[in-house]
Chains A and B, each alone.
Chain A
Amino acid sequence: MVEKGKIITFRSFEEVPPLPVSLADTLYNKTGGWRYLRPVYEDKRAPCSFNCPSGEDIPVYLGLISQGRFFEAWEVIRFENPFPAVTGRVCPHPCEKECNRNHYGGALSIHRLERFVADIVETELRPAKPLTKPEGPKVAIIGSGPAGLSCAYHLARKGYKVTVFEALPEPGGIMRYGIPDYRLPKEVLMREIAFIEALGVEIRTGMKLGGNLSWGDLRDYAAIFLAVGFSRNRALEIPGEDAEGVIPALEFLKTLNLEGTSKLKGLAGKKVAVIGGGNSAMDAARSAIRLGADVTIYYRRTRDEMPAILAEIEEAEEEGIRMEFLTAPVEVITQNGRVKGVRFIRMHLGEPDASGRPRPVPIPGSEYTVELDYVIPAVGQEPDLSFLDGFDELKVERGRIKVDSSTLAAPRIFAGGDIATGFGTVTHAIGSGKRAALAIDRFLRGEALTGFPPLERNVYAVLRPISETVVRFEDLNLAYYRWEEPLPPKHIPLDKRRSSFEEVNLGFTVEEAIKEAKRCFVCGTCVMCDNCLIFCPDRAISRKENGFGYVIDYDYCKGCGVCVSECPRNALSLREETSVQRGN
């Protein structure tokens, strides 16, 4: 048998075989010395994950869904975000805007897949009662909205004893009170809150800081996280807006979600104007139409500038809500203290304002009046800062509590969600609460609160070895992917939509979910597709004996780069050999 890896030297002619025949193999020849470029396995950040405000490891869980590994997909989401069933329904999905599949058939329906996984797993699973209550230091959280509960969840996972104080009768914050059932059914929200409580988090409702809960009551907590959110409507600042029949959107939605439709039967058959173009405006308008009203949305810019999620706008239009653009109210016309109508003025688009969008400019002399029964202003939210009365340890700037990138506001006091950042979405709030949890954990272990990325970026609670380089479309090798388009969204029938608060969007079936998830490029994440192993002309790549991934035998790798080129998803990088050898 030919010997392996030996170097053979003949000292005399007697040792030489009678003819030139091989006696060993070429393993003695370490061709790795030829290299000037070195391929390395380097998982990179997918653009969806980079843009996810709650910092989810999206390509990994999409890959798991495509394999039918739903429970593991759910676990991966919940490394970062305890509310997949919520965000899967209400998030404006900036992930999909950046999805590399946009250039090759259409973005992955990431939010629908997130919802699918949450629904299928959580309806099977029952949250287990915790075997041991967490024994760690006590942390108080003010507000049980997405920021507060996210922070509670992450802290509880780390073993901290968390108490959440909530002013309103039920937990959930904006998720419960701001979002109607047809977008986010209450059972779904309660289902996920139950999982958080199962970690040993205590939620005490009916406790308002600055009311029946004082700052003094919080003395014994090792740290405090303020997540009270924006609970007040911004005013229109026009005459007559305090008339009866003018119902600020937040209040309207709160009444609806707290007490049901009974209190609002009066809207049936009435003319309702919703002022504004954001998600709250859509929520209010689409809720009003389900109460039987005749609804028109009035927005001061055009449809293209509406900040609401496009799907919301489209669904609103489908449901029969009219929209008028480039118009703003100047006065609520009242009679006997009750709304009779609104006078509007037409606008045209001028130079861009601070938000980057064109500034609406009133057209003089273009006023007109509309007869209305109800006006629902939905032009933005503000915080209720009354809880800060008599407490001046915190700085407030432009209506928000000033925090640094770790969410620290004052010694041992952290703040997050809208109250600190004003980013305005559930997902951002979840990310913010997680950031605060990571900071509080470090703080309570005496570690420095440095190294947090800026508040506009996301943070990750659980990291696998990954480079933060973001994968671009050009970095992918399209030879291994087919052009495929996503499945269109599915809704319940239109008549049902207009007459009930039943959830409008139907989720994926299992087959649909797997089919859709299979479209994912899984950018930057090795999935062991074997391409690198198959295409190496030098057989320098093999599967790891234990664990996931491959190993490159640098004794033989010549640095040709074929593996890097043929990796469909940019999970390999080529580095300069001399830099690597220097330790860079």
Chain B
Amino acid sequence: METYPRPKLEPNYKLPEEELLKPGHVACPGCGAALAMRLALKALGKNTIVVIPACCWSIIAGPFPYSSLDVPLYHTAFETAGSLSSGIAAALKVLGKEEVTVMAWAGDGGTFDIGLQALSGAAERNENFIYVCYDNEAYMNTGIQRSSATPWLAWTTTTPSDRPKEEPKKDIIAIMAAHRIPYAATATIGYPDDLEMKFRKAKGIKGTRFIHLLSPCPPGWRAESKDSVKLTRLAVQSKVFPLIEVEHGEKWRITVWPEKFVPVREYLKLQGRFRHLTEEQIEMIQRNVDEAWEKLLKLVRESEPCA
């Protein structure tokens, strides 16, 4: 029997073939951030400069003298992703190389907390770069301490189960929308085609573009590494992380209407960082998620052109 005919069906996702992430990097098994970078660079291509402030990717990028990326990469101080990227963008303009895309790639700590000033300053000036916040919802690189991106009631090492996080997650998209930047969006690894579309779209826009990427961290979320992609799907389907775009802070659009809606419990139960939740708390979370969704729908409806 020489050949056995095999069906070869259409791939679920058609992505560019180019690979700009090398194996041998030290991301944890199942790391959402590693996969996210791989997919983002596929969409952006070789003509990209990546700026990495202190975060997990400072380590995933590889120690001196090695690099896990096939594009130029600048490590920078924790709070400077927005400011350093502004400098690079300015230099590229002066040197006549504006076709090169600058991508700041910061964690939630370096975006929501310590890096917020530089990001806000850059956004106000409409600096020409794509700012990506890959959000694993805590200071994971330093050992799972809470950030303002940590979800309400989640366990972290600084919000132990006896007193889990008391504050709700900061709404970074609302903040970026308030800056009226040309493009802000959410994306995640469970929807690679939506992610690729958004990066490609962002690449073609000038000015400050912001992408908020949900990026599961198996050790930090106390989840199984094999569930990384599945968790992001559940996050979208449970409305915890809607996939949206906002243009100039005014036009809101949902880019992926979940194929089905699931209760938030389905998302929470796969993560040990929510293991301590009571029934009552889960119901409260469900209510919050539902309310936030309604508010989003209102924004989307108001964005639609009048008949």
A and B touch in the complex (CB under 8 A): yes
Contact with A along B26-56 (1 / 0, CB 8 A): 1111111011001100000000000000000
Tell me whether B15 and A23 are in contact (CB under 8 A). no
Tell me whether A538 and B25 are in contact (CB under 8 A). yes
Complex Cα spacing A75 to B27, Å: 46
Q: A27-B23, A60-B6, A560-B30 are in contact. Are A535 and B65 (CB under 8 A)?
A: no
CB of B76 closer than 8 Å to a CB of A: no
Tell me whether B62 and A76 are in contact (CB under 8 A). no
Tell me whether A530 and B229 are in contact (CB under 8 A). no
Tell me whether B6 and A537 are in contact (CB under 8 A). no
Q: How many residues of A contact B (CB 8 A)?
A: 61
Chain B: minimal CB distance from A473 (Å) = 17
CB of B228 closer than 8 Å to a CB of A: yes
Chain B: minimal CB distance from A472 (Å) = 18
Instruction: State which residues 519-538 of A face B: CB under 8 Å.
Output: 522, 525-531, 534-538
Tell me whether A559 and B29 are in contact (CB under 8 A). yes
A-B pair count, CB < 8 Å, reads: 170
> Which chain B residue has the least Cβ–Cβ distance from A480?
B12
Q: A23-B65, A562-B226 are in contact. Are A537 and B35 (CB under 8 A)?
A: yes
Q: How many residues of B contact A (CB 8 A)?
A: 49
Complex Cα spacing A60 to B224, Å: 32
Complex Cα spacing A157 to B229, Å: 47
Note all chain A residues with C-beta closer than 8 A to B230: 479, 565-566
Q: A22-B62, A22-B66 are in contact. Are A539 and B9 (CB under 8 A)?
A: no
| Residue among B4, B10, B225, B228 having the largest count of chain A Cβ atoms under 10 Å | B4
Note all chain B residues with C-beta closer than 8 A to A22: 62, 64-67, 73
Q: A27-B23, A30-B24, A537-B38 are in contact. Are A67 and B7 (CB under 8 A)?
A: yes
CB of A268 closer than 8 Å to a CB of B: no
> Which chain B residue has the least Cβ–Cβ distance from A25?
B22
Tell me whether A25 and B9 are in contact (CB under 8 A). no
Complex Cα spacing A535 to B190, Å: 9
Instruction: State which residues 1-46 of A face B: CB under 8 Å.
Output: 2, 8, 17, 20-31, 34
Tell me whether A556 and B64 are in contact (CB under 8 A). no
Tell me whether B6 and A561 are in contact (CB under 8 A). no
CB of B96 closer than 8 Å to a CB of A: no
Q: A22-B66, A26-B68, A560-B228 are in contact. Are A527 and B26 (CB under 8 A)?
A: no
Tell me whether A560 and B29 are in contact (CB under 8 A). yes
> Which chain B residue has the least Cβ–Cβ distance from A36?
B29
| Contact residue among A63, A530, A561 (Cβ-Cβ distance under 8 Å from B7) | A63
Complex Cα spacing A34 to B31, Å: 14
CB of A69 closer than 8 Å to a CB of B: yes
Tell me whether A26 and B8 are in contact (CB under 8 A). no
Tell me whether A539 and B23 are in contact (CB under 8 A). yes
Note all chain A residues with C-beta closer than 8 A to B12: 480, 529-531, 534, 568
Tell me whether B67 and A566 are in contact (CB under 8 A). no
Chain B: minimal CB distance from A59 (Å) = 8
Tell me whether A2 and B7 are in contact (CB under 8 A). no
Note all chain B residues with C-beta closer than 8 A to A574: 226
CB of A64 closer than 8 Å to a CB of B: yes
Note all chain B residues with C-beta closer than 8 A to A26: 22-26, 62, 66-68
Complex Cα spacing A21 to B228, Å: 32
Tell me whether A66 and B65 are in contact (CB under 8 A). no
Tell me whether A548 and B8 are in contact (CB under 8 A). yes
Tell me whether B23 and A527 are in contact (CB under 8 A). no
Complex Cα spacing A553 to B27, Å: 17
> Which chain A residue has the least Cβ–Cβ distance from B42?
A534
Note all chain B residues with C-beta closer than 8 A to A564: 226
Chain A: minimal CB distance from B199 (Å) = 15
Note all chain A residues with C-beta closer than 8 A to B68: 25-26
Q: A559-B29, A565-B227, A566-B229 are in contact. Are A537 and B34 (CB under 8 A)?
A: yes
Note all chain B residues with C-beta closer than 8 A to A529: 9-12
Complex Cα spacing A151 to B130, Å: 68
Tell me whether A561 and B67 are in contact (CB under 8 A). no
Tell me whether A556 and B6 are in contact (CB under 8 A). no
Complex Cα spacing A143 to B233, Å: 58
Note all chain A residues with C-beta closer than 8 A to B38: 537, 539
| Residue among B8, B11, B23 having the largest count of chain A Cβ atoms under 10 Å | B23
| Contact residue among A28, A534, A535, A548 (Cβ-Cβ distance under 8 Å from B6) | A548
CB of A464 closer than 8 Å to a CB of B: yes
Complex Cα spacing A565 to B223, Å: 14
Instruction: State which residues 561-577 of A face B: CB under 8 Å.
Output: 561-562, 564-566, 568, 574
> Which chain A residue has the least Cβ–Cβ distance from B237?
A479
Complex Cα spacing A28 to B24, Å: 7
Chain A: minimal CB distance from B298 (Å) = 29
> Which chain A residue has the least Cβ–Cβ distance from B69?
A25
Tell me whether B24 and A25 are in contact (CB under 8 A). yes
Instruction: State which residues 484-524 of A face B: CB under 8 Å.
Output: 522
Chain A: minimal CB distance from B270 (Å) = 11
Instruction: State which residues 183-227 of B face A: CB under 8 Å.
Output: 189, 192, 218, 224-227
Complex Cα spacing A529 to B13, Å: 8
Chain A: minimal CB distance from B222 (Å) = 15
> Which chain B residue has the least Cβ–Cβ distance from A74?
B5
Chain A: minimal CB distance from B22 (Å) = 5
Tell me whether A553 and B7 are in contact (CB under 8 A). no
Tell me whether B66 and A28 are in contact (CB under 8 A). yes
| Contact residue among B9, B24, B31, B259 (Cβ-Cβ distance under 8 Å from A537) | B31
> Which chain A residue has the least Cβ–Cβ distance from B224?
A561
Tell me whether B11 and A20 are in contact (CB under 8 A). no
Tell me whether A20 and B23 are in contact (CB under 8 A). no
Q: A26-B62, A560-B29 are in contact. Are A522 and B24 (CB under 8 A)?
A: no
Note all chain A residues with C-beta closer than 8 A to B189: 535
| Contact residue among B9, B24, B227 (Cβ-Cβ distance under 8 Å from A528) | B9
CB of A462 closer than 8 Å to a CB of B: yes
CB of B113 closer than 8 Å to a CB of A: no
Contact with B along A108-148 (1 / 0, CB 8 A): 00000000000000000000000000000000000000000
Tell me whether A522 and B26 are in contact (CB under 8 A). no
Tell me whether B229 and A31 are in contact (CB under 8 A). no
Q: A67-B9, A522-B9 are in contact. Are A2 and B67 (CB under 8 A)?
A: yes
Complex Cα spacing A556 to B22, Å: 10
CB of B95 closer than 8 Å to a CB of A: no
CB of B1 closer than 8 Å to a CB of A: yes
Tell me whether A20 and B9 are in contact (CB under 8 A). no
> Which chain A residue has the least Cβ–Cβ distance from B36?
A537
CB of B153 closer than 8 Å to a CB of A: no
Note all chain B residues with C-beta closer than 8 A to A559: 29
Note all chain B residues with C-beta closer than 8 A to A526: 6
> Which chain A residue has the least Cβ–Cβ distance from B33?
A537
Chain A: minimal CB distance from B266 (Å) = 13
CB of A243 closer than 8 Å to a CB of B: no
Complex Cα spacing A34 to B218, Å: 15
Note all chain A residues with C-beta closer than 8 A to B67: 2, 22, 24-26
Q: A69-B7, A548-B8, A559-B29 are in contact. Are A539 and B65 (CB under 8 A)?
A: no
Tell me whether A540 and B23 are in contact (CB under 8 A). yes
CB of A558 closer than 8 Å to a CB of B: yes
CB of A72 closer than 8 Å to a CB of B: yes
Chain A: minimal CB distance from B223 (Å) = 11
| Contact residue among B4, B13, B23, B64 (Cβ-Cβ distance under 8 Å from A538) | B23
Chain B: minimal CB distance from A20 (Å) = 4
Note all chain B residues with C-beta closer than 8 A to A23: 65-66
Question: Besides A26-B24, A63-B9, A566-B229, 6 other CB < 8 A contacts?
Answer: A22-B62, A25-B68, A29-B25, A529-B12, A560-B29, A562-B229
The 6 closest A-B pairs by CB, nearest first: A63-B7, A561-B226, A560-B29, A26-B24, A560-B30, A556-B23
The 17 sampled A-B contact pairs (Cβ below 8 Å) are: A2-B67, A23-B66, A25-B24, A26-B23, A28-B66, A60-B4, A67-B9, A69-B5, A480-B12, A522-B7, A531-B11, A535-B192, A538-B34, A553-B23, A555-B23, A560-B29, A560-B30
B residues sitting closer than 8 Å to A (CB atoms) are: 1, 4-13, 15, 19, 21-32, 34-35, 38-39, 62, 64-68, 70, 73, 189, 192, 218, 224-230, 233, 259
